[in-house]
Structure 1
Amino acid sequence: MGTVLSIHISSIKGVEKNTVGEAKVLEGWGLENDAHGGNWDRQVSIFPVEAMNKVPAEKYDEVINGGYTENITISGIALDQFSTNSLVQIGNEVLIQIKHVGKEKYKETGRPYIVSREGRFGVILKGGNIKTGDVVSLVECGSAAVTMNKNF
């Protein structure tokens, strides 16, 4: 099990996101008031802090001091278990299916350096509210959380 460390939104793409304590997650869309929401396969971005171990020493300060570019920062989920098609439940309501690990084109500066390589991007199967401190877990296809959702 993992934990939501922080949540971030921005109404404009390509800029650092603002940290918020909680957010409304809209089914089939993404985080309310976030520019990346929409009818596509990267509605939400999740960054597991465990991926910071993959940042080269010479880039570490730049990455750690860069502004947030992901929607949700989490800890406690092993990277090798958190891959494409993983189903992620946040709190008691929100269910996300991971569609991509990283981006097609890597970024070379700031926090996007690692998020573009190790960020998890997905779609919202079930919306609801999330907040800092919520439990994050990977769920199996046959679990109650998933079978409640007719989209899966």
Structure 2
Amino acid sequence: MGKVLAVNISKEKGVPKEAIEKGYFEVDHGLVGDAHAGKWHRQVSLLGQESIDKIMAVGVEGFCTGKFAENLTTEGIELYTLPIGTRMRVGEVEMEVTQIGKECHHGCAIRNLVGDCVMPREGIFTKVITSGYIKPGDEITII
């Protein structure tokens, strides 16, 4: 079992996300108000604190939740080891893993700063199956 450390949102693409108190995650959409939400397979992005720690371990400082543009920063689960199709309950929300990693876009600010970005390898994407709220501290349970 894992837990949510932060819920992060941005109004536009290509910028780090800001932490919010709680977010409403809608079926076939994702986090309401987030630039990356929509009717597609990458409605919600998740990245584990364990993955962020790997980047910090090489001496890069100043990374906090949302800097890798993840909607949910988590801890306690190696997210990238979950098979596609895995369902999980996060707070009130049920979601399904649809993609592991992604292609890093040209000019990624994090890759330019650090020389590496962990999101393309260890970030995951989900679609929302059941709507509801998620807030920091909520448990993550694999169904």
> Do the two structures share a fold, i.e. TM-score over 0.5?
yes
Where structure 2 has 5 or more consecutive residues not aligned to the other structure, the ranges are none
Q: Which one is further off, 6-15 or 104-113?
A: 104-113
Relative contact order, CA 8 A, sep 6+: which one is greater?
A: 2
Q: Deviations over 1:42-93 (max 9, x none)?
A: 00001112224654854x51573682410000101134642322212112x2
Alpha carbons 2:80, 2:124 under 8 Å: kept: no
State the distance in 2 between where 1:133 and 1:110 align. Answer: 30
Q: Which has the larger radius of gyration?
A: 1
Where structure 1 has 5 or more consecutive residues not aligned to the other structure, the ranges are 140-152
Q: Where does residue 120 of structure 2 map in the other structure? A: 116
Q: Which one is further off, 47-56 or 128-137?
A: 47-56
**Is 2:138 the partner of 1:131?**
no
Q: What is the aligned length?
A: 137
- Equivalent positions of 1:67-106 (< 5 A) are 67-79=67-79, 81-91=81-91, 93-105=92-104
Two-structure CA RMSD over aligned residues (Å): 2.5
- SS of 1:36's partner is coil
Alpha carbons 1:51, 1:79 under 8 Å: kept: no
Instruction: Classify 1:64/1:97 alpha carbon distance in 2 versus 1 (closer, same or farther; 3 Å).
Output: same
State the distance in 1 between where 2:141 and 2:86 align. Answer: 10
Aligned-residue identity in percent: 34
Alpha carbons 1:8, 1:68 under 8 Å: kept: no
The TM-score normalised by the length of structure 1 is 0.78
State the distance in 2 between where 1:88 and 1:16 align. Answer: 25
* Paired residue type of 2:71: N
Instruction: Classify 1:15/1:77 alpha carbon distance in 2 versus 1 (closer, same or farther; 3 Å).
Output: same
